[in-house]
Amino acid sequence: MLTQIKFGTSGWRAVMAEEFTFANVRRAVGGIARYVVSQKPKGARVIVGRDPRFLGETFCAMAAEILAKQGITPLVVAEPAPTPAFAHAVIQNKADGVINFTASHNPPEYNGIKFSTSDGCPALPEVTKKIEAEILAGDAAAGDAPPSVAEAATPPAKETLDPKPAYMKRLAEIVDLDVIRKAGLRVAFDPMWGSARGYSDELLRGVGLQVATVHDNRDVLFGGHAPEPDDHLLEDLRKKMRETGAQIGIATDGDADRFGIVDADGTFLQPNYVIAILFDYLVESRGWKNGVAKSVATTNLINALAQAHGVELHETPVGFKYIGELIMQDKIAIGGEESAGLSIRHHVPEKDGVLAGLLCCEAVARRGKSLGEQLKTICNQVGSYFPQRQNFRLTPEVKGKFTEKLRQDPREFCGHPVSQVVRTDGLKLVFSDGSWVCYRLSGTEPVVRVYSEARSEKGLEKLSTAAKAWIFE
């Protein structure tokens, strides 16, 4: 029986040699190719690229061949590149989509396919459903064998593309490198063996700054762990900061769409706080007050800042595609998710970890204060917020009962009255003191993601305990 290929919020991901096989990659790319042809029967062009994972070059070559047989010109990127660079390239080159072989921040045994549409946005659910239908149609036509792709009369020759120069030029236009240069900021950078190698550091060194880099070589095993710029995986970056006296540490994940920021004193800044700081900074430095967007699971510190600045707030479902649409409509100055994704006005409608790190450098340089000091100033103005995310695995029995519970509108939660029920994505319960808890069931594994936020550390501890108890009671 063939594996069912499902595209989630960031494409299709699976373990290599289990579900991510040559046969299944052919099926997935074949489905994408047929979808592209259905939208543009002649003259379509699709960018094909990858992160540094194992066999990435082979998968790109395979995809290029399948696309060409369908009459689509493949624009093949030879070296690993950041996901936001692909988003910029598809818009600039007026291409019809991007097939990016990446599993982002997932562990090294995973690989995946991200498909982005011609607007640079991650494919929306209506697009991925059509692709999944094309995959099933190909399966039905071929029986249990991998579907063959109808050959074009004269397959177009593949072309090569280097997205780096144009993307770097764009970053230099939207980040004030001159401010960073004048401040003489010392920076440490960790690309985590990923796609941003030679991007963030090269741009800063280009204006004469000292940048110390760690993990600046290709390692398909990413040091033996997930290429995720999270607190516990940034010790080498902290060490390099201490050695060089760096005032800020910036990191990116495997495909450079996510960021990790370490402050001058070695403190890891939660992505929730980074988004809030940069929102406040962009209002101050750019005067942008057209709007701000955050996912339903992201800190309400952004809500408080939006109110203080007189800026319209957009709260979206989880998935950056929804924020990307608001960027394309120029409705927001910045949009972000607590899972370390953000982008800004006049830039790509896709998460950009490279941009996030550079903007943090700019904020530190211009304000002359560490990010921690900037956060303290913000909290003195609008109050403190303490967010947290936890994952809990569920047995089939518990999942069944809890799924039913999520359909209800509870009036109380562990003895506390619920003041608002939000169903933008999952179930979010808001309480009178401004604290809240949000539950989202994973679509791929028996896990519930629990997001909690309180106005004090003690309050968060109580809320977190109650949030867990509510699942299993």
Q: pLDDT (tens digit, 9 = 90+) per residue, 328-377? A: 999 999 999 999 999 999 999 999 999 999 999 999 999 999 999 999 99
Point out the least confidently predicted range of 137-141, 232-236, 293-297, 388-392: 137-141
- Mean pLDDT on 100-105: 96
**If we measure between CA atoms, which residue out of 247, 234, 236, 239 comes closest to residue 186?**
247
Structure confidence at residue 1 (pLDDT): 62
Point out the least confidently predicted range of 3-17, 222-236, 393-407, 449-463: 3-17
pLDDT band at 29 (very low <50, low <70, confident <90, very high): very high
Structure confidence at residue 147 (pLDDT): 47
Examine the pLDDT at 306 and tell me if it is beyond 80: yes
Q: Is this model's pTM higher than 0.85 or not?
A: yes
Domains, the chain, with CATH or none: 12-162 (3.40.120.10), 165-286+352-382 (3.40.120.10), 386-472 (3.30.310.50)
Structure confidence at residue 140 (pLDDT): 87
- In the block, tokens 């999270």 appear at 230
Strand order in the sheet with 248-252: 211-213, 187-190, 248-252, 259-262, 268-269
**If we measure between CA atoms, which residue out of 251, 262, 181, 261 comes closest to residue 223?**
251
pLDDT band at 261 (very low <50, low <70, confident <90, very high): very high
Tokens of 336: 């972000």
Examine the pLDDT at 132 and tell me if it is beyond 70: yes
| Residue with more model confidence, 450 or 2 | 450
320, 365 contact by CB (below 8 A): no
pLDDT in tens, 154-200: 889 999 999 999 999 999 999 999 999 999 999 999 999 999 999 99
In whole angstroms, what separates CA 7 from the centre of its chain? 15
For residue 51, the number of C-alpha atoms closer than 13 Å in the C-beta half-sphere is 34
435, 463 contact by CB (below 8 A): yes
Structure confidence at residue 414 (pLDDT): 80
Q: What average pLDDT does the structure give for the chain?
A: 95
